[in-house]
């Protein structure tokens, strides 16, 4: 009896501590936080993981700082909730900063907590999801806190390419703190309640005299449209968590797992004749490549990544016969589908992500070339364009390319062409696989002949027609074996699935080396 009382007293103490930890920064702070439209750190985790699956670690950890009387303020958990749970049954590790506790600021203790679950994630081959809502380095701790960030960065790098890393920015994220998210694979932001910048509006005002608001400088829209730092800009906290769950469905748990396969109810031989009406007869007319993709993939479902940035190229995930695939496609509706610096950076990073995690790559090509201009040249389109070549050539996952229309010059080679170790190249009868468009070619090689002709206009038109007949088609490439098959567009889905099935056990290796030197 006496023993039972002792135990129940001890359990009471545990209950008290648990209650205290669950209060976070207390009622007032919580009220202020909620008033800003944000969910709490715990509510976010609840939406993120499967119901009842979250197991918290280090709930009672406290900081050890004694400067500025910090020993009088030692909240349990120290401003971050860490642990593991399941997303659609799959193990994930998560940390979620609690802004109500000392502004979610990063103490050395907080960093240790985060590092602990990152280490566990890496050892157990499971994705890491970071939910950031923090005033940055805990100012009272000074350099110790900075050291904590450095330990996080190092783990982000160690985990890169081994387990998927996803970050949600759901409040402030400023200064050096921005670099952990940007080392991860996907960054989510929430419109109007999150921001990221290296230096804030006040510093900018002092140094460059520019006036800019936090939202304009580093809000979700700025990073999703202008900088490309954010892959997804969501409407609110709940949507952000649900989108992460969605994304996780397409990813394996680690680099040793295969791309996930879900049961498929969409017929694998479903003809897709609609594509013939999507692609206009007139090669100068744009069309929406998204419609082509949606037509082909399982259940027409495509999860677009980086939707608002570099819209001249499309990247994202879908399924073909249940198997997750990464799609890369030129978008003729934007800049005629030309490749520019941002498009090259966007696609190259996506391709490398897919390759790291064994996700096959399907490419749709309609590309007239690289975007001309001094701006592009001086900002280094040469180096950035090379990233795509590097990424495609390096990727050892199954790679299948479909040329719908234009595939001109260097851009043709870059877009997953056969000679960049692509496995299957399919071309539509509408494909124009050539060194350049007929007009450009004729103007160069027949300049004198056109100038000397009695009717230069007519001569040019005749020569263009001849060039088109000879080169602006898929058959020269087919003769040379640079494409494997010319297919009716209606057969695209069937052929893609057959190709991926054939490539299921593909093994391809690079020469042994420490690592390559991608033109960064
Ligand atoms: C300690 C902090 C803190 C921090 C916020 N708080 N940031 N405490 N260290 N970095 C505390 C506040 O004192 C306050 O405590 C509580 O958190 C809530 O903050 P508020 O200011 O009331 O909230 P809000 O008005 O929403 O403003 C949020 C904010 C602001 C814009 C983030 O708090 C702010 O400017 N904080 C400092 C940001 C900063 O300079 N951080 C260091 C960046 S350098 P009380 O008790 O009053 O409620 C950095 C380097 C990383 O991070 C380097 C990595 C290599």
- Spell out the SS3 assignment of 305-331: ECCCCCCCEEEEEEEECCEEEEEEEEC
Give pLDDT, residue 25: 95
| Span from the CA of 58 to the centroid of ligand 1 (angstroms) | 23
The structure tokens listed for 328 are: 């890369």
| Span from the CA of 134 to the centroid of ligand 1 (angstroms) | 7
Per residue in 338-363, pLDDT tens?
Answer: 999 999 999 999 999 999 999 999 99
pTM of the model: 0.96
Give pLDDT, residue 437: 86
Nearest CA to ligand 1 atom 43: 136
Give yes or no: 410 in active site.
yes
Taking the C-alpha atoms of residue 128 and residue 244, their distance in angstroms, rounded to an integer, is 11
Distances (CA, A) of 381 to 42, 247, 339, 340, 371: 44, 30, 9, 7, 9
pLDDT category, 509, cuts 50, 70, 90? Answer: confident
Ligand 1 binding site (Cβ under 6 Å of any ligand atom): 102-103, 105, 135-139, 146, 149, 172, 174-177
pLDDT category, 2, cuts 50, 70, 90? Answer: low
Nearest CA to ligand 1 atom 19: 103
Is residue 1 scored above 70 in pLDDT? Answer: no
Per DSSP, 400 falls in state E
Nearest CA to ligand 1 atom 23: 103
Among 400, 280, 440, 410, smallest CA distance to 339 is for 410
Task: State the CATH class of domain 2-248.
Answer: alpha beta
- Across the range 162-187, mean pLDDT stands at 96
Angle at 200 between CA 196 and CA 203, to 5 degrees: 160
- Give burial (CB, 10 Å; 0-12/13-18/19+) of 337: buried
The structure tokens listed for 323 are: 């198997």
Taking the C-alpha atoms of residue 59 and residue 39, their distance in angstroms, rounded to an integer, is 19
Per residue in 71-123, pLDDT tens?
Answer: 999 999 999 999 999 999 999 999 999 999 999 999 999 999 999 999 999 99
Among 196, 216, 195, smallest CA distance to 205 is for 216
Atom index in ligand 1 nearest the CA of residue 139 equals 9
What average pLDDT does the structure give for the chain? 96
Q: 411, 427, 434, 438: which one is catalytic?
A: 411
* H helix intervals, 256-380: 274-278, 289-296, 341-356, 374-378
The answer to whether residues 402 and 428 touch, using CB atoms and an 8 Å cutoff, is yes
Per residue in 13-45, pLDDT tens?
Answer: 999 999 999 999 999 999 999 999 999 999 999
Give yes or no: 176 in active site.
yes
| Span from the CA of 248 to the centroid of ligand 1 (angstroms) | 31
DSSP 156-170: HHHHTTTS-EEEEE-
Q: 125, 322, 409, 410: which one is catalytic?
A: 410
> Mapping DSSP to helix (H, G, I), strand (E, B) and coil, where does residue 403 land?
strand
Q: 77, 79, 175, 326: which one is catalytic?
A: 175
CATH 3.90.226.10-classified regions of the chain: 2-248, 274-437+473-502
Give yes or no: 411 in active site.
yes
Per residue in 447-503, pLDDT tens?
Answer: 999 999 999 999 999 999 999 888 889 999 999 999 999 999 999 999 999 999 999
Give yes or no: 427 in active site.
no
Among 341, 180, 316, smallest CA distance to 249 is for 316
Atom index in ligand 1 nearest the CA of residue 138 equals 9
Nearest CA to ligand 1 atom 33: 135
CATH fold, domain 274-437+473-502, is: 2-enoyl-CoA Hydratase; Chain A, domain 1 (3.90.226)
Taking the C-alpha atoms of residue 384 and residue 380, their distance in angstroms, rounded to an integer, is 6
DSSP 52-119: T--EEE-TT------GGGGGG---TTTTEEEEEEEETTEEEEEEEE-TTTGGG-B-HHHHHHHHHHHH
């Amino acid at each position: 009896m006496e023993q039972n009382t002792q135990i129940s007293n001890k359990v009471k103490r545990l209950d008290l501590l648990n209650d205290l930890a669950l209060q976070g920064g207390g009622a007032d702070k919580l009220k202020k936080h909620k008033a800003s439209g944000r969910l709490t750190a715990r509510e976010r985790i609840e939406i993120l993981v499967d119901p009842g699956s979250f197991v918290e670690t280090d709930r009672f950890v406290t900081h050890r700082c004694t400067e500025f009387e910090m020993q009088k303020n030692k909240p349990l958990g120290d401003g971050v909730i860490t642990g593991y749970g399941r997303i659609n049954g799959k193990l994930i590790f998560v940390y979620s900063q609690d802004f109500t506790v000392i502004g979610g600021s990063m103490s050395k203790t907080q960093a240790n907590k985060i590092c602990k679950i990152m280490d566990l994630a890496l050892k157990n081959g499971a994705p890491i999801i970071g939910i950031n809502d923090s005033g940055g380095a805990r100012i009272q701790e000074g350099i110790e806190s900075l050291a904590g960030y450095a330990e996080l960065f190092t783990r982000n790098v160690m985990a890169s390419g081994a387990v998927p890393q996803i970050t949600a920015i759901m409040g402030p994220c400023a200064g050096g703190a921005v670099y952990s998210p940007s080392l991860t694979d996907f960054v989510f932001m929430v419109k109007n309640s999150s921001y990221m910048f290296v230096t804030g509006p006040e510093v900018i005002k002092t140094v460059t005299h520019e006036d800019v608001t936090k939202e304009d400088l580093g809000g979700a829209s700025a990073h999703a449209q202008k900088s490309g730092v954010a892959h997804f800009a969501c409407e609110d906290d709940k949507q952000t968590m649900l989108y992460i769950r969605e994304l996780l469905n397409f990813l394996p748990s680690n680099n040793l797992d295969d791309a996930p396969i879900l049961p498929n109810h969409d017929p694998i031989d479903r003809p897709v004749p609609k594509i013939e009406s999507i692609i206009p007869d007139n090669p100068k007319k744009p069309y929406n490549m998204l419609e082509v993709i949606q037509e082909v993939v399982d259940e027409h479902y495509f999860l677009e990544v980086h939707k608002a940035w570099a819209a001249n190229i499309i990247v994202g995930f879908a399924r073909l016969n249940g198997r997750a695939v990464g799609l890369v496609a030129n978008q003729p509706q934007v800049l005629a589908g030309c490749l520019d610096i941002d498009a090259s950076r966007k696609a190259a990073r996506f391709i490398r992500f897919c390759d790291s995690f064994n996700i096959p790559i399907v490419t749709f090509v309609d590309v007239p070339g690289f975007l001309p201009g001094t701006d592009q040249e001086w900002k280094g389109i040469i180096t950035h364009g090379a990233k795509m070549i590097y990424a495609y050539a390096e990727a050892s996952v199954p790679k299948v390319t479909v040329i719908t229309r234009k595939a001109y010059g260097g851009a043709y080679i870059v877009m997953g062409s056969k000679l960049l170790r692509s496995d299957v190249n399919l071309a539509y009868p509408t494909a124009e696989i050539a060194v350049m468009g007929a007009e450009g070619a004729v103007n160069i090689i027949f300049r004198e002949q056109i100038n000397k002709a009695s009717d230069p206009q007519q001569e040019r038109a005749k020569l263009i027609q001849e060039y088109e007949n000879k080169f602006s088609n898929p058959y020269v490439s087919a003769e040379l074996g640079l494409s494997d098959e010319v297919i009716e567009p209606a057969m695209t889905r069937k052929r893609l699935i057959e190709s991926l099935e054939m490539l299921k056990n593909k093994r391809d290796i690079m020469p042994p080396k420490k690592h390559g030197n991608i033109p960064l």
